[in-house]
Structure 1
Amino acid sequence: MLANLSIRDIVLIDRLDLALGAGLNVLTGETGAGKSILLDALGLALGARADRALVRQGAEQGSVTAAFDLTPDHAACERLADNGMDHGDGQLILRRQITTDGRSRAWVNDQPVSQTLLAEIGTLLVEIHGQHDDRGLLDPAAHRDLLDAFAGNAEARAEVAAAYETLRAEEDVLSEAEASLVEARRDEDFLRHAVEELVSLDPEPGEEEKLDEDRALMMQGEKLMEELGTFHSELTKDGGVDATVRGVLRRMLRQDGPLAARLEPVSAALDRAAIELGEAVAGLEALQADLEFDPAALERIEERLFEIRRLARKHGCPAGDLPGLKERLQAKLAALDAGDEAVLAAKGRVTAARAALKAKVTGLSARRQKAAAALDAAVMAELPPLKLEKAQFHTAIEALPEHLWGAAGGDSVAFEVKTNPGTPFGPLVKIASGGELARFILALKVVLAKGSSAPTMVFDEVDRGIGGATADAVGERLKRLSIEAQVLVVTHSPQVAARGGLHFRIEKADVAGGTRTSVVPLAIEERREEVARMLAGAEITPEARAAADRLLEAV
């Protein structure tokens, strides 16, 4: 609920701190005392357009702060959390500042926010209802949600939304399958030829690099063979280095006496050297065998290397990607061959999903029809006491064609009224006059109260143009509405004022430097005088005070 409203330098208000309570808060005062200023200030804190004319004359800037006490799971707190902002465990403080040059700044819990976000938060916190201002009830786009809230259709709505999303997903899969099939068939001849070429060539990963190396070695084969031959000749001439080393080693081993012991390390090293030399000569001979120049082998390598590179250029990919490309094209060809089956299966799933959605939509529509009848009866019961006995209220539900179904189902919903017999039903805003509209809104709000997410409702002169029993009926409904939510009502009716839990009088007075508007909370005796004033007018009589007592005692 709105716990506190602080206003600084707005129009005729220089400083105002207003502590509000739960239930019904009434604001009364003489015409022109400044009730509209209070509502304009509240609207500013809730994100309304900032007009520099709101800044009090002589001041450089004005500001409004609205403090709300909420549950931490309230939609406004969740909206702040979605924006990565602190919601103060349910205590929200909205602050708006405007300067004389028209610049505006906004904060929520001392965190700067845009006017757009402030307005979004504001709509979740307060509903302001005037004779020509009710966004939810006058906007047909909101009527379906209001009916569902009245009917308790949250679970049924969630099931419809889930079924709708499933259908959307299956339709996307079908579209992709059909598009893939069309594309594959368009390129089928190319695809089959490409797969045939790749399968025939059967390239292997890294094959191009290996073939390139082999080709380079074979092209240098004769020169390399000559060099290797020279190496071998020098190592093996005159018996070879290995034979020389082993001859020396044999003579060393025949030595005895002191020299033999001292030659042991030398002979061991020569023995190791002889083994290494033998292995080196054998490796050189094996290399000569491998590099034996073969013109036919070189031609085969060059032909395969050319074919690999040709296909790589043809498909616009590195040669190393050809094995992967072969697998992808084979899979695409397999998908083409199985394309009809895939599309047929996808169509079957779409048909099943559509049938499931139709069942959920039909069930939700039936719940709406039943709830609409109950809503119509409940609203109609509220109208006669509000001096709308000739009026009729009707919830029009129209079944939408299937292609217009969505996550909210397959119905359009509109609240319609007619105020005189023989006239057709029409939208609230077009049929009802200003005073009638305000009372229709009140009747609807009383019936729909439990479905409202806004913790605070403001009614601006909902009782204009009525009096007596009708005004009393308005007051009774406002009181009933205040059980479900905090209600602030600006009223000229003593019958409405008498039902308030808290009563504030708005006053305007001339002070040094100009005219100022103030808001005064009234104690019991002060309430009696104010209600008497509202009954009697300029001069408060004993009869008016007695009548005020009866009104206050009656509630």
Structure 2
Amino acid sequence: MLQSLTIRDFVIVDRLQLEFDAGFSVLTGETGAGKSILIDALSLALGARAEAGVARHGCERAEVAAQFDVQALPDLQQWLLDNALNGEADELLMRRVVYADGKSRAFINGMAVTVQQLREAGDFLVDIYSQHAHHSLLKPATQRQILDQFAGHADLAAQVAAHYQAWHALHRRRVEAEQHAAAYADELATLRDQARELKQLAPDAESWEQEQQEHARLSHGASLLSGAQQCRALIADADINALDQLAAAQHVLQALVAFDPNLQEVLDVLDQAAIQLQEADRFLNRYLQRSELDPQRLAELEARIAELHQAARRYRVRPEQLAEQLQQWQARIAELELAVDDGQLARLEAAAWQAYEQSALQLSAGRKQAAEKLAAHISAEIQRLALSGGRFDVALTSQAAAATGLEQMEFLVAGHAGAEPRALSKVASGGELSRISLAIRVVTAQQGDVPTMIFDEVDVGIGGGVAEVVGQLLTQLGNKRQVLVITHLPQVAAQGAQHFRVSKQLHGEATLSHIARLEPEERVEEIARMLGGVEITATTRQHAREMLGYREA
């Protein structure tokens, strides 16, 4: 869950640090005070697109950091391990820096990451629903995703899509093979001949480097032997050699050390030099003993290198790339052999279709069962949201095989008793969509695994007793998840376990937004403001206390 959020120089916020608890929290404030700034800042930390202008006026950059408790998220912990981003065992820190020109940097647990990695991690952590997010309910893809998640079949749906793609690829290959049979046969014959030639050469990138080095050594064999013998003579064998000269110098210094001990340091250096020269002489001796001219091996290497160069020129690659070229040809030969074998390709296509059909039928059965259960649960919830007598249905209709399965689905709703359910897009007003969206979130919350849900004024268009029910539903959600709600309704705000207030103040010539966690008496004043407007009376305050009483008594 979200533990804390730190914001610096973001829009009209200079410095802000908030600590969050589990359960249901509310955030309120005057219109225009900047309530959505918190959501915008958190969205940046979760990988939202950064734009120029988010840095506070006169500041070089804005910075947002969000800390999460990830103890109950093993999938996220594994993702962090896989990406070498793991930090403290139970905590995760996500940070975003956005500069005045719109460029940004992203960090996870103090390590630089891409914005895409921020998004991937954020998908495990937070779901954000804006006041317009309920419109996504009108999209078939959203409806399908909700049903599959409720049924616990998200993985099965992904498997169906994968099986369909595999079948479709084989089907396309078979059709193409039938259309281009003659061309494929010619290409196969050519590639087999070319591959046969390269296989006889047995090219290998590593061996090529070794053969180049061996060829260079053998082709300069006489020079190497002569040079090594000359060096050995200069070190130890010539009439005047380095070891004898060094020994003479040591002898002179040895006599002088008795008169000046400071020369001992020079003598020690010469002793080490003598040891190194003796080791060099032994090395050269061993080198000369095992080295010899090998004209036959040199001729073999020159012939092989010439063949490899010739093949490389013919196929327009570098000699060290011949092995890779052979692998590519062999892979293409395997494809073409399958393509020209109509029976084998057809059998693979049939097997892929069988795998798809089996998983798709299993998904269809699960969807049918889950659709009835989801419809019943949501129908029960919307009764409480001023849709008395209303009914929610999930219609499943057969469709041609597709990556999404064997059926289309559509959410239907009847706004009152006796009405026939119709498509959500045709019968639901904005307020009804908000209520239905909330009902769906409450019903499906148990199946989800994202620990934090944030609602940005999703209660627009709702009031009166319905607003109190909305607060009860959000409290119910808060028993399962961490829920943060930006609201303008006192009936909702009064039911939060913790309450934050956003205010806007003038500091010098700058207007700054502040967010503070409210104490009990401060909550009374805020609820009273939301109830009574500009002039807050004793009656209004008493009403606010009554609304908060069962929370704070």
User: Which TM bucket (shorter chain)?
Assistant: 0.5 to 0.7
Shift of the alpha carbon at 1:500? 0.9
The aligned counterpart of 2:380 is 381
Shift of the alpha carbon at 1:382? 1.4
The aligned counterpart of 1:505 is 501
> Relative to 1, partners in 2 of residues 1:117 and 1:11: Cα closer, same or farther, differing over 3 Å?
same
Shift of the alpha carbon at 1:174? 7.2
The aligned counterpart of 1:462 is 458
The aligned counterpart of 2:97 is 97
| AA matched with 1:494 | P
> Relative to 1, partners in 2 of residues 1:124 and 1:136: Cα closer, same or farther, differing over 3 Å?
farther
Give the secondary-structure state (helix, strand or coil) at the position aligned to 1:25: strand
The aligned counterpart of 2:264 is none
| AA matched with 2:16 | L
**Mean Cα deviation higher: 369-378 or 172-181:** 172-181
- Match runs of 1:214-293 below 5 Å: none
- Match runs of 1:441-460 below 5 Å: 441-460=437-456
Query: How far apart, in 1, do the equivalents of 2:349 and 2:38 lie?
Result: 56
| AA matched with 2:366 | R
Preserved contact between residue 73 and residue 90 of structure 1 (Cα < 8 Å): no
Shift of the alpha carbon at 1:19? 0.4
The aligned counterpart of 1:3 is 3
Shift of the alpha carbon at 1:365? 0.6
For 2:431, which of 435, 438, 443 is the aligned residue? 435
For 1:528, which of 524, 529, 532 is the aligned residue? 524
The aligned counterpart of 2:209 is none
The aligned counterpart of 1:122 is 122
For 1:426, which of 399, 412, 423 is the aligned residue? 423
Preserved contact between residue 529 and residue 536 of structure 2 (Cα < 8 Å): yes
Give the secondary-structure state (helix, strand or coil) at the position aligned to 2:522: helix
Residue 483, structure 1, aligned to residue 482, structure 2: no
**Mean Cα deviation higher: 153-162 or 485-494:** 153-162
Question: What do you get for the CA RMSD once the two structures are aligned?
Answer: 3.9
> Relative to 1, partners in 2 of residues 1:416 and 1:50: Cα closer, same or farther, differing over 3 Å?
farther
Residue 394, structure 1, aligned to residue 393, structure 2: yes
Shift of the alpha carbon at 1:490? 0.8
> Relative to 1, partners in 2 of residues 1:57 and 1:170: Cα closer, same or farther, differing over 3 Å?
closer
The aligned counterpart of 1:372 is 371
Preserved contact between residue 47 and residue 118 of structure 1 (Cα < 8 Å): yes
Q: What CA deviation, in whole Å up to 9, does each residue of 1:298-345 have, x standing for no partner? A: xxxxxxxxxxxxxxxxxx99xxxxxxxxxxxxxx9xx99x999x7557
Give the secondary-structure state (helix, strand or coil) at the position aligned to 1:400: strand
The aligned counterpart of 1:51 is 51
The aligned counterpart of 1:217 is none
> Relative to 1, partners in 2 of residues 1:431 and 1:4: Cα closer, same or farther, differing over 3 Å?
farther
Give the secondary-structure state (helix, strand or coil) at the position aligned to 2:445: helix
- Match runs of 1:1-400 below 5 Å: 1-71=1-71, 73-86=73-86, 88-133=88-133, 137=137, 139-153=139-153, 157=157, 160=160, 344=343, 347=346, 350-351=349-350, 354-355=353-354, 357-389=356-388, 392-400=391-399
Shift of the alpha carbon at 1:7? 0.8
Residue 540, structure 1, aligned to residue 540, structure 2: no
The aligned counterpart of 2:549 is 553
Give the secondary-structure state (helix, strand or coil) at the position aligned to 1:487: strand
Query: How far apart, in 1, do the equivalents of 2:366 and 2:91 lie?
Result: 37
The aligned counterpart of 1:198 is none
Preserved contact between residue 399 and residue 406 of structure 2 (Cα < 8 Å): yes
Shift of the alpha carbon at 1:16? 0.6
The aligned counterpart of 1:253 is none
Query: How far apart, in 2, do the equivalents of 1:350 and 1:474 lie?
Result: 52
Preserved contact between residue 131 and residue 437 of structure 1 (Cα < 8 Å): no
Preserved contact between residue 4 and residue 18 of structure 1 (Cα < 8 Å): yes
Query: How far apart, in 2, do the equivalents of 1:33 and 1:159 lie?
Result: 47
Shift of the alpha carbon at 1:485? 1.3
Query: How far apart, in 2, do the equivalents of 1:41 and 1:30 lie?
Result: 19
Query: How far apart, in 2, do the equivalents of 1:541 and 1:339 lie?
Result: 84
The aligned counterpart of 2:311 is none
Query: How far apart, in 2, do the equivalents of 1:135 and 1:535 lie?
Result: 29
> Relative to 1, partners in 2 of residues 1:101 and 1:345: Cα closer, same or farther, differing over 3 Å?
closer
Query: How far apart, in 1, do the equivalents of 2:358 and 2:104 lie?
Result: 51
Query: How far apart, in 1, do the equivalents of 2:536 and 2:384 lie?
Result: 29
The aligned counterpart of 2:206 is none
Q: What CA deviation, in whole Å up to 9, does each residue of 1:250-271 have, x standing for no partner? A: xxxxxxxxxxxxxxxxxxxxxx
Q: What CA deviation, in whole Å up to 9, does each residue of 1:83-141 have, x standing for no partner? A: 44336435222212222222222222222223333234334322221221358645432
| AA matched with 2:370 | A
Preserved contact between residue 509 and residue 516 of structure 1 (Cα < 8 Å): yes
| AA matched with 2:460 | R
Query: How far apart, in 1, do the equivalents of 2:362 and 2:81 lie?
Result: 34
TM-score, scaled relative to structure 2: 0.64
Preserved contact between residue 393 and residue 421 of structure 2 (Cα < 8 Å): no
Shift of the alpha carbon at 1:494? 1.7
> Relative to 1, partners in 2 of residues 1:116 and 1:339: Cα closer, same or farther, differing over 3 Å?
closer
Shift of the alpha carbon at 1:58? 2.6
> Relative to 1, partners in 2 of residues 1:69 and 1:544: Cα closer, same or farther, differing over 3 Å?
same
Preserved contact between residue 509 and residue 517 of structure 1 (Cα < 8 Å): yes
> Relative to 1, partners in 2 of residues 1:100 and 1:352: Cα closer, same or farther, differing over 3 Å?
closer
Shift of the alpha carbon at 1:551? 2.0
**Mean Cα deviation higher: 525-534 or 468-477:** 525-534
Query: How far apart, in 2, do the equivalents of 1:155 and 1:48 lie?
Result: 26
Q: What CA deviation, in whole Å up to 9, does each residue of 1:392-429 have, x standing for no partner? A: 43323233313xx33x533333434465786873355x
Identity within the alignment, %: 41
Preserved contact between residue 6 and residue 66 of structure 1 (Cα < 8 Å): yes
| AA matched with 1:375 | L
Query: How far apart, in 1, do the equivalents of 2:157 and 2:442 lie?
Result: 24
> Relative to 1, partners in 2 of residues 1:31 and 1:345: Cα closer, same or farther, differing over 3 Å?
closer
Shift of the alpha carbon at 1:498? 1.6
Q: Paired residues, what number?
A: 412
| AA matched with 1:363 | Q
Unaligned runs of 5+ in 2: 194-199, 202-313, 316-332
The aligned counterpart of 1:284 is none
> Relative to 1, partners in 2 of residues 1:426 and 1:360: Cα closer, same or farther, differing over 3 Å?
same
Unaligned runs of 5+ in 1: 196-204, 207-315, 318-331
TM-score, scaled relative to structure 1: 0.64
Query: How far apart, in 1, do the equivalents of 2:366 and 2:106 lie?
Result: 43
> Relative to 1, partners in 2 of residues 1:186 and 1:108: Cα closer, same or farther, differing over 3 Å?
closer
| AA matched with 1:18 | L
| AA matched with 2:446 | K
Query: How far apart, in 2, do the equivalents of 1:485 and 1:78 lie?
Result: 21
> Relative to 1, partners in 2 of residues 1:381 and 1:59: Cα closer, same or farther, differing over 3 Å?
same
Query: How far apart, in 1, do the equivalents of 2:181 and 2:339 lie?
Result: 6
The aligned counterpart of 2:299 is none
